[in-house]
C-alpha cells in the first residue's frame, strides 16, 4: 500500500473509531460484559445498523464492527481496503491520526473539536441573521428625527425567509439585494465589511483581537479540511463559547442603540 493512500485510509479509520466509540459509550453505557439493552437495540435500529451486528452472540455489541460490516458491504470492499495497517515501512509516523486529531485514544478531542467547529458556525449564522434583518427593516439606516423613531422587533419569518400569509397576500418578501449579498454574507470578512460600512456596526469585543479570532478560524479550517491535528481542551472550548456569547450581546446592544432594531 502506498503512503498517500495509506495516510488517507488511516485518517478515515481514525474518524470512524472516534464516532463508533463515542456513540457506543453514549448509547450503551453499560459494562462490556452486559448484554445489549433494548434501548441500545433501538438506537441501532434508528441508525440502520441493527442488522449488521452479530445475532449469534448477544454479548456482542461492538458498534465499530457493525459500522465496518455495513461499509464493507456497501462499498464492496475487501478487509485490506477498509482497515489500513497501523504502520507501513515508508512512514515515520501515523499521518492519518496526526491529521484527523481523532482515534480510539482521542475521543475527548474529537468531541471538543467537533463542537468547536459548530460553535463558530453558530456565531456566523447569528451575524448572517442579523444582517438579513437589518437589510429588511433598516435598508437605509434610521431616517427622520430621533423623536419619530420606534423600536422594531425582528420577526422569525425574516430569518427563515418564509412569507407570512395575510389575507392570502404575501406579507414578507426578503429584500432583492439579499439575493446578491447572500454569498458575500457567508464569509466573515465580507459580512463584517457590510455591517461596518453600511450600518456602522463593528465586531469589536473587549478582550479579543483580530489575530486571536483569526487563529480560531485557522484551527476551524484545519479541522474541517483535515490539514493537521488540532488539540483543544475544554478550557479552550469555553473560551470560544465566552467569545460567541459576547458577540451576540455586543451586536444585540449595538442594533438596539444605533438601529432601534431588537434582534
Say what the pLDDT of residue 112 is. Answer: 94
**Residue 75 confidence (pLDDT):** 83
Task: Give the three-class secondary structure for 1.
Answer: coil
Asked whether the beta carbons of 49 and 35 are under 8 A apart, the reply is no
* Sign of the dihedral defined by the CA atoms of residues 141, 146, 148, 152, in that order: positive
Nearest Cα to 63, choosing from 51, 75, 53, 78? 53
**Hunting for cell 456565531 — which residue is that?**
123
- pLDDT tens string for the chain (263 positions)? 677 888 888 888 888 888 888 888 877 665 444 446 677 788 888 999 888 887 654 544 578 888 888 888 888 776 556 566 666 656 566 776 677 777 777 888 999 999 999 999 999 999 999 999 999 899 888 877 776 788 999 988 787 776 666 665 555 566 777 778 888 888 998 999 999 999 999 888 888 888 889 999 999 999 999 888 899 999 999 999 999 999 999 999 999 999 999 99
User: In this structure, are residues 10 and 93 in contact, taking their beta carbons and an 8 Å threshold?
Assistant: no
Report the alpha-carbon distance of residue 220 to residue 93 in Å, rounded.
24
Residues 6+ apart with CB under 8 A from 236: 112, 116
pTM attached to this predicted model: 0.78
Amino acid at each position: 500500500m502506498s503512503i498517500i493512500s495509506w495516510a488517507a485510509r488511516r485518517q478515515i479509520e481514525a474518524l470512524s473509531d472516534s464516532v463508533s466509540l463515542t456513540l457506543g459509550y453514549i448509547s450503551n453505557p453499560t459494562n462490556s460484559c452486559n448484554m445489549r439493552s433494548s434501548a441500545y437495540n433501538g438506537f441501532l435500529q434508528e441508525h440502520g445498523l441493527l442488522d449488521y451486528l452479530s445475532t449469534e452472540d448477544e454479548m456482542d455489541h461492538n458498534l465499530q464492527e457493525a459500522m465496518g460490516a455495513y461499509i464493507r458491504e456497501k462499498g464492496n470492499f475487501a478487509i485490506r481496503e477498509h482497515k489500513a495497517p497501523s504502520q507501513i515501512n515508508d512512514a515515520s509516523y501515523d499521518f492519518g491520526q496526526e491529521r484527523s486529531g481523532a482515534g480510539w485514544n482521542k475521543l475527548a478531542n474529537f468531541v471538543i473539536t467537533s463542537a468547536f467547529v459548530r460553535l463558530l458556525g453558530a456565531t456566523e449564522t447569528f451575524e448572517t441573521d442579523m444582517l438579513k434583518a437589518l437589510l429588511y427593516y433598516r435598508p437605509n439606516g434610521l431616517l427622520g428625527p430621533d423623536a419619530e423613531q420606534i423600536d422594531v422587533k425582528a420577526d422569525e419569518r425574516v430569518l427563515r425567509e418564509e412569507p407570512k400569509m395575510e389575507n392570502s397576500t404575501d406579507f414578507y418578501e426578503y429584500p432583492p439585494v439579499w439575493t446578491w449579498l447572500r454569498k458575500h454574507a457567508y464569509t466573515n470578512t465580507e459580512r463584517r465589511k457590510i455591517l461596518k460600512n453600511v450600518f456602522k456596526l463593528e465586531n469589536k469585543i473587549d478582550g479579543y483581537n483580530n489575530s486571536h479570532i483569526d487563529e480560531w478560524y485557522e484551527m476551524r479550517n484545519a479541522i474541517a479540511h483535515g490539514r493537521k491535528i488540532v488539540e483543544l481542551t475544554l478550557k479552550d472550548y469555553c473560551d470560544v463559547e465566552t467569545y460567541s456569547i459576547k458577540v451576540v450581546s455586543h451586536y444585540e446592544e449595538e442594533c438596539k442603540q444605533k438601529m432601534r432594531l431588537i434582534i
